[in-house]
């Protein structure tokens, strides 16, 4: 492969961890061509935006960034602008119409096409689109991992659930699992490189393996990964309540390394709305899972996703969601205002909720949740936790942070004694709503 001297790429990732992981495969290809990463857009020879379209707000932000790039390209006409990921898959050549300064649009199954398209674009200016979803989702590609001790490991791509509000199945395609041997091999390799913590990624990890039809499932994968030497912690994202089983909870509980954090999105506390969302479970069925998980996994840290303002959500249904928060007492809830996505069934449903009402409900929901987030974090005060050091916080070089196995972020005053990647003990002094403050124990 020809190596290019002093060429730089600027990469921005939007959306979920799947996109973070895909970005590492884009970066791997760029680095294999000799490009180096820059944080300065004006220095870049290639700008790559790896995009998300799950909500309108995400798209709006990305369109804003694409607008900014027009000026960058005016100063540097040789700049290659690539838009990739879910929004690229959804918009395809409409992106060129909207912003002719974009050079490449690459869909979710076509990550491996980057090098070829850059070459074509270098040979001849023009618009290049690759968004074929019939090709395999996984390709053996060089990976440039952005972190040193934490690694994303995709175990599957796509989603078969078709929740009525969600665009993901349309832009990521059907569920495809990676063979267990490939996943284990990748983790064994990164364990040798010194990685300590991995996160198994999929839109619905609980249905892992079902398409392979060889008897493998998520429990078997967890058991295989648990045996890999060198790895200290195994995380997994995201679980779906319909496919989560007691056997999987047992596999988590009986493992040595799978963490005590479970992200189990409920979306709504109303059975009627869950049905309209096509989620495939009731609140009672969900609660059975929560109770079993809390019985089997000591100190379980439970988090969730909730949507407010889904079409037809009445005040009474919304109050059922508030009641559910009180009943479950999550450590944290990621809360979203329902965003109609063209092409999804919910966008055409009657009784869309006005924006102001959606915003009011979001605020009420957060007010209730924040009480529990604070209480549960305060309950950690004066106790000791093991964290893996991640480094300085964003705003303050003198304060460093790490995460517990339960994924709680603890910040302490840095005294030079702990290095990034060390596993250390921290005592919690103060629990706040979003974060904990503590000190290192020597
Ligand atoms: N596969 C995961 C979620 C992926 S999307 C799961 O099913 O749990 C992440 C979250 O975004 C979802 O859990 C949902 O809460 C939210 N979301 C998805 N589509 C949305 C939409 N149209 N409007 C608002 N929130 C949405
Ligand atoms: Fe979207 Fe539902 Fe699939 Fe999650 S399970 S990605 S919310 S369709
Ligand atoms: Fe967004 Fe695609 Fe993830 S739509 S949430 S980046 S799967």
Angle at which helices 283-296 and 315-328 cross, to 10°: 10
What single DSSP character describes residue 175?
Answer: -
Q: How far is the CA of 166 from the centre of ligand 1 (A)?
A: 6
Per-residue pLDDT tens digits for 346-366: 999 999 999 999 999 999 999
Contact 176, 137 (CB under 8 A): yes
Distance CA 145, CA 46 (A): 19
Q: At residue 341, does pLDDT exceed 60?
A: yes
Per-residue pLDDT tens digits for 167-183: 999 999 999 999 999 99
Mean pLDDT of 146-169: 97
Taking alpha carbons only, the member of 160, 151, 147, 51 closest to residue 95 is: 51
Q: At residue 408, does pLDDT exceed 60?
A: yes
Average pLDDT for the chain: 96
By the 10 Å C-beta count (0-12 exposed, 13-18 middle, 19+ buried), 231 is classed as buried
Domains of the chain: 8-130 (3.40.50.12160), 150-377 (3.80.30.20), 384-440 (2.40.50)
- The CB of 414 under 6 Å from ligand 2? The reply is no
- Which helix (H) or strand (E) segment holds residue 195: the answer is none
Q: How far is the CA of 91 from the centre of ligand 2 (A)?
A: 20
- The CB of 19 under 6 Å from ligand 1? The reply is no
Q: How far is the CA of 364 from the centre of ligand 3 (A)?
A: 26
Looking at all shown ligands, the one closest to residue 338's CA atom is: 1
- The CB of 168 under 6 Å from ligand 3? The reply is yes
Contact 180, 225 (CB under 8 A): no
Q: Sorting pLDDT into bands at 50, 70 and 90, what band is 3?
A: low
Q: What percent of the chain has pLDDT over 70?
A: 99
- The structure tokens listed for 137 are 């989702």
**Predicted local confidence at residue 372, as pLDDT:** 98
List the binding residues: 16, 52, 86, 159, 163, 166
Atom of ligand 1 nearest to the CA of 204: 1
Atom of ligand 2 nearest to the CA of 238: 4
- The structure tokens listed for 111 are 């990550």
Q: How far is the CA of 140 from the centre of ligand 3 (A)?
A: 21
- The CB of 206 under 6 Å from ligand 1? The reply is no
Angle at 328 between CA 323 and CA 333, to 5 degrees: 90
Q: Which residue has the least CA distance to atom 11 on ligand 1?
A: 54
Peptide bond before 11: cis, by omega within 30 degrees of 0?
A: no
List the binding residues for [4Fe-4S] cluster: 16, 52, 86, 159, 163, 166
Mean pLDDT of 78-85: 97
By the 10 Å C-beta count (0-12 exposed, 13-18 middle, 19+ buried), 190 is classed as buried
Per-residue pLDDT tens digits for 298-325: 899 999 999 999 999 999 999 999 999 9
Q: At residue 88, does pLDDT exceed 60?
A: yes
User: Which residues touch 143 (CB under 8 Å, ≥6 apart)?
Assistant: 24, 25, 27, 28
Q: How far is the CA of 163 from the centre of ligand 2 (A)?
A: 6
Q: At residue 87, does pLDDT exceed 80?
A: yes
- The CB of 172 under 6 Å from ligand 3? The reply is yes
**Predicted local confidence at residue 442, as pLDDT:** 84
Q: Which residue has the least CA distance to atom 19 on ligand 1?
A: 166
**Predicted local confidence at residue 5, as pLDDT:** 67
Q: At residue 229, does pLDDT exceed 80?
A: yes
**Neighbour tally for 251: CB within 10 Å:** 19
Q: How far is the CA of 412 from the centre of ligand 3 (A)?
A: 33
Distance CA 415, CA 400 (A): 9
Mean pLDDT of 369-387: 98
């Amino acid at each position: 492969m020809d190596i290019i001297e002093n060429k730089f790429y600027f990469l921005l990732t939007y959306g979920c961890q799947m996109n973070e992981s895909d970005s590492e495969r884009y970066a791997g290809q760029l680095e294999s061509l000799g490009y180096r990463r820059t944080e300065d857009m004006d220095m870049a020879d290639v700008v790559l935006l790896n995009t998300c379209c799950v909500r309108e707000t995400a798209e709006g932000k990305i369109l804003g960034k694409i607008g900014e790039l027009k000026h960058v390209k005016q100063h540097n006409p040789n700049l290659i602008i690539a838009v990739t990921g879910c929004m690229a898959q959804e918009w395809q050549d409409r992106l060129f119409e909207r912003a002719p300064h974009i050079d490449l649009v690459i869909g979710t199954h076509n990550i491996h096409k980057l090098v070829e398209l850059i070459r074509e674009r270098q040979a001849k200016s023009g618009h290049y689109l690759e968004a074929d979803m019939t090709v395999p989702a996984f390709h053996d590609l060089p990976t440039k991992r952005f972190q040193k001790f934490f690694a994303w490991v995709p175990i599957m791509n796509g989603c078969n659930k078709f929740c009525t509000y969600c665009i993901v199945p349309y832009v990521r395609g059907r569920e495809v699992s990676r063979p267990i041997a490939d996943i284990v091999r990748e983790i064994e390799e990164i364990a040798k490189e010194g990685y300590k913590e991995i996160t198994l990624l999929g839109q619905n990890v609980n249905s892992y393996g079902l398409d392979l039809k060889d008897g493998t499932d998520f429990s078997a994968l967890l058991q295989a990964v648990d045996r890999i030497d060198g790895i200290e912690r195994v995380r997994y994202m995201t679980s779906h309540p319909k496919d989560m089983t007691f056997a999987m909870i047992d596999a988590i509980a009986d493992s040595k390394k799978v963490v005590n954090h479970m992200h189990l999105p409920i979306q709504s506390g109303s059975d009627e709305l869950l049905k309209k969302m096509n989620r495939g479970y009731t609140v009672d069925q969900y609660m059975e899972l929560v109770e079993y998980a809390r019985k089997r996994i000591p100190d379980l840290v439970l988090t969730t996703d909730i949507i407010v303002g889904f079409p037809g959500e009445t005040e009474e249904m919304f109050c059922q969601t508030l009641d559910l928060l009180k009943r479950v007492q999550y450590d944290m809830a990621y809360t979203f205002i329902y965003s109609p996505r063209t092409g999804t069934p919910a966008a055409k449903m009657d009784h869309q909720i006005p924006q102001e009402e959606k915003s009011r409900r979001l605020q009420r929901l957060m007010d209730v949740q924040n009480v529990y987030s604070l209480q549960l974090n305060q309950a950690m005060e004066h106790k000791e936790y093991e964290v893996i050091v991640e480094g300085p916080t964003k705003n303050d070089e003198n304060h460093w942070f790490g995460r517990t196995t339960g994924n709680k972020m603890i910040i302490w005053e840095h005294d030079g004694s702990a290095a990034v990647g060390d596993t250390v003990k921290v005592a919690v002094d103060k629990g706040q709503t979003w974060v904990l403050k503590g000190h290192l124990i020597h």
